[in-house]
Amino acid sequence: MQQNNKPIIAPSLLAADFSDLKSELKLCNDSKAEWLHLDIMDQQFVPNLSFGPDIVKSIRPHSNLFFDVHLMVSNPFDMLSAFIDAGADAISFHIETTEPRFTFPPKILINMIKKNNLRCGIAIKPKTSFKVLEKYLSFIDYIVVMSVEPGFGGQGFIPSTIEKISSIDKTLKEKNLRDQIAIQVDGGIKLHNAKEVIDASKPSPSTAAMSFLRGAKSVVFKNNVPLLRSVPSAEKLLPPLAIAGIGK
């Protein structure tokens, strides 16, 4: 498979204008984004309520982007089948909803996602230590590092996330897993801090991706829809990275 060192851009559908979703989706399709990030909120794990599998299913025929479903829900197991059937390409769930109570142990969710030939990720909130994920590293494809508290739009990027990304990157390299596991950074990323986020974890050619996902980083931009309309400005800032923005 072809190596890929560049970051993966994942616009967030949550930030779109839902009164004109078709146009907003076209904006993403026509940009240099490769993924579409789908934030699923249940008003329990997080205070807000977003959208469900019917929306994902309805837009699936209209986009060839890689559909990245991020389950910010209290019971991810009950939602897996619906989003798999809706056309997800990858699903991530929060370790905080599974590890403390083990109603559905993480390995059960991982197995269900993987047996359906989807990529599997585990998300961690800003205050959650990466160490809680270490026992699952050999089973997953990516780690979602929340750089804001999940469930609220418009938050500022938490600066300590940079150190957290670097630490995760270092650990994965020490375990010889960096070419297997991507680092996804979610929240508060804009043009002024995108390069710093990307630089916190740059796989060298020897540890670079074996596919578009593995070893790369998916940077989820929020509150930046205009950047999707002005990709050249992003390219001037980060010439080799072909960054596009996301969100409103």
Active site amino acids: 39, 186
Return the residue matching tokens 């060298």.
204
Closest CA to 56 of 29, 85, 23: 85
Do strands 142-146 and 182-189 pair parallel, antiparallel, or not at all (unpaired)?
parallel
Residues 205-228 as b/e (b if ≥16 CB within 10 A, e otherwise) read: eebbbeebbbbbbbbbbbbbbebb
Question: Number of C-alpha atoms within 13 angstroms, CB side, residue 92?
Answer: 30
Q: How far apart, in whole angstroms, are the C-alpha atoms of residue 66 and residue 62?
A: 12
Neighbours of 29 (CB within 10 A): 14
Question: What is the DSSP-derived secondary structure letter of residue 16?
Answer: S
- The helix (H) or strand (E) run that includes residue 188 is strand 182-189
**Residue 245: Cβ-neighbour burial (10 angstroms; 0-12, 13-18, 19+):** buried
Do the Cβ atoms of 242 and 34 come closer than 8 Å?
A: no
* Beta-ladder partners of 41: 72
Return the residue matching tokens 């009950």.
78
